[in-house]
């Protein structure tokens, strides 16, 4: 006998009726197995649930001996049921007893049953239990029967966690988000933040599982899939990589899945079993998650993750929630949690409410992290599985000193962190005390400490930090937050306000550094295989002289005759500098027609980010007023290691002799040409790295404002001559990194790092 067509829908209806009746969880379970056996035309139906100790316990059965209920236990992996729990995959056998995994339990009396169908009871990819049916006749169950049992298992899972079917305390449901959990990652932007979760990609909670009208649900899923395809196509066509923080390969994977017939078919089949469109997505998603949790190959795991993301998008389309979380009202102490995010997306949030950022991916020098640092929010990265382990509004703590992420912390943990926050506030007070002091080493070397900025709102930090000026003003941030290309006047007014806010302190305006991972939504970019090596920064400026000249004009007009420092990013050869300078001088000539402007006041510099410059230093230094090392990009190109790729970013250390020798070479060349030198990459803001840089001969460092205090207190306890001697011998060694040696140096010399 085979289960009749339509059995799943009848089953779901019966389940709903049983749930509506006021009965104890055990009675419900007992009635459910009877119903499933009857409708699936099975002689046996059993439910095993996972206990907290990891074992599987028979909770209810129709057909096996009743005395086995709550008596039969097996460990995960043991027997057919244990195997299903472990692999989270169904098993469909015509002769169960001859299967090598079969484990005979005399107390159940199951020896007379030959065919066996078991499916995992899954919730969010985790196995809650196993649902089985058995028959005496030897046969394979049909695909429709497997589907029907899986759908039933899904509804059971919902009922279990709602406590309607078993005592939740008895069942291993630790993934239900209620307990404290600590996940470990890496600090990205220093700080400690206590607050509440906002999911950057909000999750839709599926409440209604059973469909009223299957045809209607079928139509809903079809429409949603079409919409999803359109959005993914659109994202790819726009090359919308930086805006969403998604790499092209993720978008390509999205597209592949969105058009995958297999995926679509599975969703339709799940709807056909009587689930709502939302529940059908969740059913298919459950299988994906189960596979994801068990997948060892990182590449395949990532692709399953992509499919999971795509399912979430589909759920959001169905729920009509397609606007970004940044457009919703935020709690006062928002901690954003995301798999990944683009710099522009982070800037979309109300910064007054933001306290912390948690990324499953994310590296120290990716642009979203630079923005987080500029906004002064604590950020941690490489927190694998963070998104799945939190719910919207959960209380969380971001410890961006150690890289810990506490989810639903206990009162003791909250108290410990509140103490830490107070301690840090005290330290900030101490930094304030040294704020007015010049950054002089113990042997009298003055180091200029500058800040990196990019938005007008950063400007108060210049004064608060006590910095000497702005060593890097990333002009592209204004472009990234604007929905359209800022016009000449808007640019001019913005620069004028910045100059005014700096109150006479020097500002290095870097011309637009877009491209790579900083795309402007309103500017069309070609698809690029290697955007970091592609059409970006000054390369765009030279190919789009109108854009470049407009910015220069805005800067010249805003400076109103005062000193203006303009810095060109990503210069790779001397001729690019020449071409850019020519364009700049055309603008100077234009401005001079209308206003008083002395060319004396214009200082032109470049960033050293591209290794080719290392062999042209003599030529290029003869033509510039200043240079600044962009160590983020320079390092990525020297080591051929993508700065935003978690797999390779930490592989090579900035404190390796190889990299430090490159920096030393730049110091010597600038000394020879008497050209002012600075460094404005992220390494400048880390006290240990800053100590090494001073040893190499750097006297100007530019960093996020929060690091001025810690770096200055390092400088006040350092003897420049000693670190210089130490590091110059260190860089001649063959070591992979000088980090441990420099830490030891700092310890023995009592340098505050
Ligand atoms: C750098 O590359 O080090 C730098 C400061 O520029 P950005 O991080 O903006 O690329
Ligand atoms: Mg750069």
- Residue 177 pLDDT > 60: no
| 669 CA to centre of ligand 2 in angstroms | 21
Pocket mutation for ligand 1, best pick of 188, 343, 531, 632 (most atoms within 8 Å of C-beta): 632
Mean pLDDT for the chain overall: 89
Q: Does 548 have pLDDT greater than 90? A: yes
Ligand 1 atom closest to the CA of 516, numbered from 1: 10
Q: Which numbered atom of ligand 1 lies nearest the CA of 609? A: 2
d(CA 33, CA 351): 53
Query: With 90 as the cut, is the pLDDT of residue 159 above it?
Result: no
Q: What is the pLDDT of residue 170?
A: 64
Lowest-pLDDT range of 6-10, 738-742, 749-753:
6-10
Beta pairing partners, 452: 472
**338, β-bridge pairs:** 359
Strands 186-189 and 192-199: unpaired
Question: Does pLDDT of 271 surpass 70?
Answer: yes
Ligand 1 close to Cβ of residue 713 (< 6 A): no
So what's the pLDDT on residue 536?
93
Q: What residues have CB less than 8 Å from 380, skipping those under 6 apart? A: 185, 186, 187, 188, 356, 357, 358, 359, 398, 399, 400, 403, 404, 405
**Half-sphere exposure (CA, 13 Å, Cβ side) for 488?**
11
The Cα diameter of the chain in Å comes to 102
Q: What is the pLDDT of residue 4?
A: 65
569 alpha carbon to ligand 1 midpoint, in Å? Answer: 8
**Residue pLDDT, tens place only, 423-440:** 888 888 888 899 999 999
680 C-beta closer than 6 A to ligand 1: yes
The Cα–Cα gap between 58 and 61 comes to 7
Residue 195 Cα to ligand 2 midpoint, Å, equals: 32
Report d(CA 2, CA 701) in Å as an integer.
Answer: 76
pLDDT at residue 16, rounded to an integer:
81
Residue with the smallest CA separation from ligand 1 atom 3 is 630
- Structure confidence at residue 5 (pLDDT): 63
Atom in ligand 1 nearest the alpha carbon of residue 636: 2
The string of pLDDT tens digits covering residues 187-197 is 999 899 999 99
Residues 483-535: tens digit of each pLDDT: 689 999 999 999 999 999 999 999 999 999 998 767 776 777 777 888 889 99
Is the beta carbon of 339 within 6 A of some atom in ligand 1? no
- Whether the pLDDT of residue 653 is over 50: the answer is yes
Mean pLDDT of 36-58: 90
More confident: 528 or 746: 746
Instruction: Kindly give the distance from the C-alpha atom of residue 629 to the centroid of ligand 1, in angstroms, as a whole number.
Output: 9
pLDDT (0 to 100) of residue 353 = 92
Q: How confident is the model at residue 172 (pLDDT cuts 50, 70, 90)?
A: low
CA of 452 relative to ligand 2 center, distance in Å: 12
Average the pLDDT over 631-642 and give the result: 96
Q: Is 631 in the pocket of ligand 1 (CB under 6 A)?
A: yes
Contacts of 124 (CB under 8 A, 6+ apart): 175, 286, 289, 388
* Whether residue 516 has its Cβ less than 6 Å from ligand 1: no
Residue 377 has pLDDT above 50, yes or no: yes
DSSP helix/strand/coil, 70:
coil
Pairing of strands 602-608, 626-629: parallel
In this prediction, residue 244 carries a pLDDT of 43
User: Does ligand 1 lie within 6 Å of residue 517's CB atom?
Assistant: no
Strand 354-359 with 181-184, pairing:
unpaired
Residue closest to 96 by CA, chosen among 44, 147, 47, 61:
44
Instruction: Indicate if ligand 1 lies below 6 Å from the C-beta of 633.
Output: yes
Which residue has a Cα nearest atom 8 of ligand 1? 632
Q: Give the model's pLDDT for residue 103.
A: 87
pLDDT at residue 358 is higher than 60: yes
Highest mean pLDDT among 52-66, 452-466, 471-485, 499-513: 499-513
pLDDT, position 61:
95
Between residues 124 and 201, the one the model is more confident about: 201
The residue written with tokens 């244990």 in the block is 82
Answer yes or no: pTM beyond 0.85. no
Q: How far is the CA of 599 from the centre of ligand 1 (A)?
A: 27
For range 689-693, the mean pLDDT: 98
Cα of 570 from ligand 2 centre, angstroms: 7
CB 698 within 8 A of CB 667: yes
Ligand 1 pocket, residue 632 CB under 6 Å: yes
What is the C-alpha separation between 165 and 27, in angstroms, rounded?
9
Cβ–ligand 1 contact at 474 (below 6 Å): yes
Closest CA to 281 of 302, 299, 258: 258
pLDDT of 722 above 60: yes
**What is the structure's pLDDT at 91?**
94
Angstrom CA distances, 228 to 215, 311, 505, stand at 20, 10, 50
**680 Cα: distance to centroid of ligand 2 (angstroms):** 9
- Mean pLDDT of the region 246-273: 82
What pLDDT score was predicted for residue 241? 44
Q: CB-hemisphere CA count at 13 Å for 715? A: 30
* % of the chain exceeding 90 in pLDDT: 58
Overall average pLDDT of the 51-56 stretch:
82
**pLDDT, position 246:** 47
| Distance between Cα 707 and ligand 1 center (Å) | 16
Q: CA–CA separation, 12 vs 18, rounded Å?
A: 10
pLDDT of residue 178: 65
Q: What pLDDT, on the 0 to 100 scale, is given for residue 238?
A: 65
Tell me what the mean pLDDT of segment 668-695 comes to.
97
- Residue spans of alpha helices (H) in 610-686: 617-621, 631-638, 657-673
Lowest mean pLDDT across 162-176, 336-350, 394-408, 595-609: 162-176
Among 284-298, 379-393, 537-551, top mean pLDDT goes to 537-551
Task: Tell whether ligand 1 has an atom less than 6 A from the beta carbon of residue 370.
Answer: yes
Mutate to test the pocket of ligand 1, among 458, 533, 569, 686 (most ligand atoms within 8 A of CB): 569
Cβ contacts of residue 506 below 8 Å, gap of 6+? 468, 469, 470, 563, 565
> What is the pLDDT confidence band of residue 290, given thresholds at 50, 70 and 90?
confident
Which pLDDT band holds residue 93 (cuts at 50, 70, 90)?
Answer: very high
Instruction: From 474, 514, 532, give the residue whose CB has the most ligand 1 atoms within 8 Å, as the site to mutate.
Output: 474
Distance between Cα 534 and ligand 2 center (Å): 13
Average pLDDT on 12-40 reads 87
Residue closest by Cα to atom 4 of ligand 1: 630
Condensed to tens digits (0 to 9), the pLDDT of residues 215-259 reads: 999 999 999 999 999 988 887 776 544 444 445 667 777 888 888
Q: Return the higher-pLDDT residue of 508 and 269.
A: 508
Give the residue, out of 609, 649, 659, 698, with the most ligand 1 atoms within 8 A of its beta carbon, to mutate for a pocket test.
Answer: 609
Q: Which ligand is nearest to the CA of 452?
A: 1
pLDDT of the residue at 459: 86
The pLDDT assigned to 1 comes to 57
pLDDT grade for 357, boundaries at 50, 70 and 90: very high
pLDDT of residue 173: 57
């Amino acid at each position: 006998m085979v289960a009749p067509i339509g059995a799943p829908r009848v089953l779901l209806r019966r389940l709903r009726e049983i749930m509506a009746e006021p009965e104890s969880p055990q009675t419900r379970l007992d009635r459910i197995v009877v119903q499933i056996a009857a409708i699936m035309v099975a002689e046996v139906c059993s439910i095993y649930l996972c206990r907290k100790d990891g074992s599987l316990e028979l909770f209810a059965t129709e057909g096996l001996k009743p005395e086995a209920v709550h008596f039969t236990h097996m460990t995960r992996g043991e027997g057919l049921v244990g195997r299903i729990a472990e692999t989270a995959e169904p098993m469909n056998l015509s002769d169960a007893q001859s299967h090598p995994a079969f484990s005979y339990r005399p107390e159940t009396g199951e020896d007379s049953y030959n065919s066996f169908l078991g499916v995992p009871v899954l919730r969010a990819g985790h196995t809650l239990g196993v649902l089985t049916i058995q028959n005496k006749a030897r046969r394979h169950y049909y695909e429709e029967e497997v589907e029907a049992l899986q759908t039933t298992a899904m509804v059971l899972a919902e009922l279990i966690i709602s406590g309607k079917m078993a005592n939740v305390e008895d069942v291993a449901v630790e993934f239900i988000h209620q307990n404290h959990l600590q996940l470990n990652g890496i600090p990205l932007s220093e700080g400690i933040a206590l607050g509440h979760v906002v999911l950057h990609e909000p999750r839709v909670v599926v409440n209604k599982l059973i469909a009223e009208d299957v045809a209607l649900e079928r139509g809903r899923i079809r429409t949603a899939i079409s919409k999803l395809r359109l959005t993914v196509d659109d994202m790819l066509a726009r090359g919308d990589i930086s805006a969403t923080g998604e790499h092209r390969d993720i978008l390509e994977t999205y597209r592949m899945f969105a058009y995958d017939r297999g995926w679509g078919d599975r969703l339709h089949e799940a709807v056909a079993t009587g689930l709502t469109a939302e529940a059908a997505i969740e059913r298919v998603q459950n299988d994906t998650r189960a596979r994801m949790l068990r997948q060892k190959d990182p590449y395949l795991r990532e692709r399953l993750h992509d499919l999971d993301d795509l399912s979430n998008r589909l759920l959001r389309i169905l729920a009509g929630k397609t606007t970004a979380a940044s457009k919703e009202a935020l709690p006062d102490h928002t901690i954003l949690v995301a798999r990944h995010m683009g710099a522009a997306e982070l800037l979309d949030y109300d910064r007054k409410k933001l306290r912390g950022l948690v990324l499953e991916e994310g590296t120290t020098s990716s642009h979203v992290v630079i923005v987080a640092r500029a906004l002064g929010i604590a950020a941690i990265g490489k927190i694998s599985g963070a998104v799945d382990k939190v719910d919207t509004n959960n209380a969380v703590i971001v410890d961006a000193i150690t890289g810990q992420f506490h989810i639903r912390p206990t009162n003791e943990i909250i108290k410990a962190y509140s103490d830490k926050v107070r301690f840090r506030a005290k330290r900030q007070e101490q930094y304030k005390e040294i704020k007015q002091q010049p950054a002089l080493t113990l042997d009298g070397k003055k180091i200029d400490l500058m800040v990196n900025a990019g938005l007008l709102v950063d400007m108060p930090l210049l004064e608060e930090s006590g910095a000497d000026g702005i060593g890097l003003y990333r002009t592209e941030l204004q472009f990234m937050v604007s929905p359209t290309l800022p016009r000449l006047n808007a640019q001019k007014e913005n620069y004028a306000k910045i100059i005014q806010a700096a109150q006479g302190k020097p500002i290095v305006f870097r011309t637009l550094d877009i491209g790579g991972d900083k795309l402007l939504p309103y500017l069309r970019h070609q698809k690029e295989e290697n955007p970091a090596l592609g059409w970006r920064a000054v390369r765009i400026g030279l190919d789009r002289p109108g854009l470049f000249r407009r910015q220069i004009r805005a800067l010249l007009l805003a400076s109103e005759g005062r000193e203006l420092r303009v810095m060109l990013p990503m210069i790779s050869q001397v001729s690019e500098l020449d071409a850019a300078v020519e364009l700049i001088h055309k603008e100077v000539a234009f401005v001079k027609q209308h206003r008083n402007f002395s060319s004396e006041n214009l200082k032109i510099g470049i960033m050293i980010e591209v290794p080719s410059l290392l062999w042209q230093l003599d030529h290029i230094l003869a033509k510039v007023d200043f240079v600044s090392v962009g160590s983020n990009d320079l390092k990525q190109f020297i080591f051929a290691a993508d700065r935003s790729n978690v797999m390779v970013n930490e592989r090579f250390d900035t404190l390796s002799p190889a990299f430090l020798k490159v920096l030393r070479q730049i110091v010597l060349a600038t000394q020879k040409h008497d050209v002012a030198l600075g460094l404005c990459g992220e390494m400048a803001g880390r006290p240990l790295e800053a100590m090494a840089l001073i040893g190499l001969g750097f006297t100007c460092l530019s960093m996020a404002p929060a690091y001025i205090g810690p770096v200055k207190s390092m400088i006040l306890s350092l003897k420049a001559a000693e670190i210089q001697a130490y590091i110059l011998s260190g860089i001649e060694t063959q070591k992979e990194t000088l980090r441990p040696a420099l830490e030891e140096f700092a310890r023995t010399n009592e340098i505050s790092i």
